[in-house]
Structure 1
Amino acid sequence: MRDASILVLATGGTIAGQAGNATRRDYRPGQIDIADFLAEFAALGVKARLEGRQVANIDSANIGPAIWRDLHESICAAMDDPDRDAVIITHGTDTAEETAFLLDLTLPTAKPVVLVGAMRPADAVGSDGLRNFATAVRVAADAEARGRGVLLVMGDQVLSARDARKARTTGSNAFEGFPRGAVALATPASLDWLQGQWRLDEPARWHFPREFPEVPILHCHAGQTGDSVHQLVKAGARGIVLAGLGDGNAPDTVRQALAEAAHEGIVVVRATRVDEGLVDREPDDDIHGFVAARALGPAKARILVQVLIANGVTEPALVQEAFGRR
């Protein structure tokens, strides 16, 4: 049986970062070229045929549509290549959940696509980059990784792109999954799937956007007024995601301004600024034309709204249906 053929698309981040000192706290992300990274990885003796391509070498805070489009096109080409088994993307952790979810929405599930990053730069004491990458190789090479959409590997956990979120600023356990938690537990030496393949041989759910519409996130706070909404509408927002209080709540003046925006055809989604929990529909959502974000946090809710608008989906009931899919 041949070793898996995996395309590695590198975008930078902490996994390619350096501090210049093993105990220094600050560092520069995106310093190591993927060819050098793979040369070091080869010394570990992991069996896989890896081909690296440097898509970018940046702090993931700077990622956006141009790099996303490059990733999407490269992965689609790999999907069509019969000699390619899987794709791994090395990525900074700050926006990994957004990139993973966007690709999850716009790619078929024919071959595994795995994002991986690190919480410590390559030259730090206890650097986790090579370990996480070795685990990602094990996951991507596994036949059962198909049919699960895009996956994220961090800290010996495998998370679904729809569930994954960065829950802590530092530490090897920075990522969690909600509502499902980990779909597998993995190390460079072991892999245990905890759930079955729920998207086997599924085509892409949505077309990749030609342009990304303006969809700001409105962070809600005590004492906020409707002026914060009016400013976004005036600036040309085509959708607004509310990072609301509690389960998607907002002061009355903010809620009224959002209702006015929704009646003007702007997609309005109620999410929450709370770390974890469902935002369910409430009776006034039908009256106001609001969408409940369900399990998606504000960052991923924004990505989904952008994709939906770009695909011509703006009617609240249809948007709500997309938020309810697993």
Structure 2
Amino acid sequence: MLCAATFAAAQSAPAAKPQVVVLATGGTIAGAGATAANSASYQAAKVPVDKLISGLPELANVASVRGEQVFQIASESFTNEHLLTLGKRVAALAAQADVNGIVVTHGTDTLEETAYFLHLTVRTDKPVVVVGSMRPGTALSADGALNLLNAVTVAGEASSRGKGVLVVMNDEIHTGRDVTKSINIRTEAFKSPWGPLGMVVEGKAYWFRAPVKRHTLNSEFDITKLGALPRVDIAYGSGNATDTAYKAFAAAGAKAIVHAGTGNGSVANAVVPALRELRAQGVQIVRSARVVGGGFVIRNAEQPDDQYDWVVAHDLNPQKARILTMLSLAQGADSKTLQRQFLEY
């Protein structure tokens, strides 16, 4: 039995800080401009992770933080191989008992794709938070420092567990499934069509909803079992569209083509015959939509998907549809399985 003095000491002892690892991959959050006035023109991926962490002493108030430099690239150059390398490192860290949360710093151009990939493949309930910035740290009103502090705060909070991979930007907490970059020059660039999960206000996370689609521990995908990912390409629909891009992608080895269609994933009459022919040759055809801000592609509306054996991407945008399609085909899925997965994930 504890004596009164021992009990009082235990009650007054400060709680142990969460252990958070920052995995750096480059991007604007590690960028530098020529002057403080350069917020949109700068060089990405210049500042190493140790300098990012040491330049933000406030991090020590919310967690015990250490960093690893996984890559130092601008995110438009993120390849499938980068996704696999990063995902396996995140999974390895998540399996360590001495790691409570993981933050991935990332360029904003493909941040949403990486976040969704991790959301689908890392089998953990520990918080994994992806973060970037819209302005380099050298700019007036740079947003990276607060974004990183907020990301570490969320990664270290027990309330963040089990919510899948999160994206923290501009004081908002988004699910990696929904969030997308909708603006390219303002700090409120990242939006979710169904709204954020919560907010970070003065060092505390406030939650308003939780994701209901399958992810992380409930996912049938597992980063530790993934090898090379099959080629999946995106072709953009527009007025006066032709079948040139679709045929070229298939000839180059694409196992699936995501059609970024107008409206309800519509396909121009001039393109339909080529897509039917490609499907007959074994190429999966996925109808997504280029529209921004919500809604989803309805199966057997605009096109007879059942008849053509095509798949609809539901509410996933083309770039996220590519991620899910790659993972599905890596496991040898047929069109029926792929369609199920689009509805469940």
Which of residues 268, 271, 274 is equivalent to 2:285? 268
Contact 1:113–1:150 (8 Å) recurs in 2:
yes
The answer to whether the aligner puts 1:10 opposite 2:24 as a matched pair is yes
Letter in 1 for 2:297: V
Match of 1:289 among 302, 309, 315: 309
In the alignment, residue 235 of structure 1 is paired with which amino acid?
Answer: A
In the alignment, structure 1 residue 302 sits paired with structure 2 residue 322: yes
Deviations 1:129-188 (A, max 9, x none): 01001111111111121111111011111111110100111111101012x210111134
Paired amino acid for 1:242: H
> Within 5 Å, which residues of 2 pair with 1:56-135?
56-135=71-150
Counterpart residue identity of residue 279, structure 1: V
Instruction: Work out the CA distance in 2 between the residues paired with 1:44 and 1:293.
Output: 39
2:201 aligned partner: 187
User: CA 1:196 to 1:241, structure 2 compared with 1: closer, same or farther past 3 Å?
Assistant: closer
Q: Distance in 1 between matches of 2:121 and 2:267?
A: 32
C-alpha separation in 2, matches of 1:235 and 1:219: 17
Please give the root-mean-square deviation of Cα atoms over the aligned residues, in Å.
1.7
* 8 Å Cα contact 1:121/1:127 also seen in 2: yes
TM-score (norm 1): 0.95
Residue 48 (structure 1) aligns with? 63
What amino acid does structure 1 have at the position aligned with 2:35? N
Q: Which residue of 1 aligns with 2:179?
A: 164
Could you state the TM-score of these two structures normalised by the residue count of structure 2? Answer: 0.90
Work out the number of aligned pairs and report it.
Answer: 324
CA distance in 1, matches of 2:216, 2:314: 25
Q: Which residue of 2 aligns with 1:252?
A: 269
Q: Secondary structure at the match of 1:228?
A: helix
Unaligned residue ranges in structure 2 (runs of 5+): 1-14
**For residues 102 and 254 of structure 1, what CA distance do their matches in structure 2 show?**
30
Residues of 2 paired with 1:201 and 1:151: CA distance? 11
1:280 aligns with 2:298: yes
Report the CA distance between 1:265 and its aligned residue: 1.8
Q: Deviations over 1:23-74 (max 9, x none)?
A: 0241001111111111111256522111100011111111112322221121
> Cα gap change, 1:310/1:125 in structure 2, threshold over 3 Å: closer, same or farther?
same
Could you say if the C-alpha distance between residues 159 and 294 of structure 1 is closer, same or farther in structure 2, counting changes exceeding 3 Å?
same
- The residue type paired with residue 321 of structure 2 is A
The sequence identity of aligned pairs, in percent, is 34
Query: Residues 200 and 250 (structure 1 numbering): CA distance in 2 closer, same or farther, change over 3 Å?
Result: closer
Counterpart among 221, 236, 247 of residue 206 in structure 1:
221
Note if 1:316 corresponds to 2:331. no
Residue in 2 that maps onto 1:32: 47
The answer (yes or no) to whether the contact 1:167–1:176 under 8 Å persists in 2 is yes
Structure 1 runs not aligned, ≥5 long: none
Contact residue 122 and residue 216 of structure 2 kept, 8 A: no
Q: How far apart are 1:120 and its partner, in Å?
A: 0.5
Per the alignment, do residues 80 and 97 of structure 1 end up closer, same or farther by CA in structure 2, a change over 3 Å counting? same
Flag the 1:143–1:44 CA change in 2: closer, same or farther, 3 A: closer
Question: Using a 3 Å threshold, how does the CA distance of structure 1 residues 160 and 6 change in structure 2: closer, same or farther?
Answer: same
Q: Distance in 1 between matches of 2:243 and 2:131?
A: 40
* Residues 197-206 or 252-261, more deviating: 197-206
Deviations 1:235-276 (A, max 9, x none): 221000000111100111212211221222211100111113
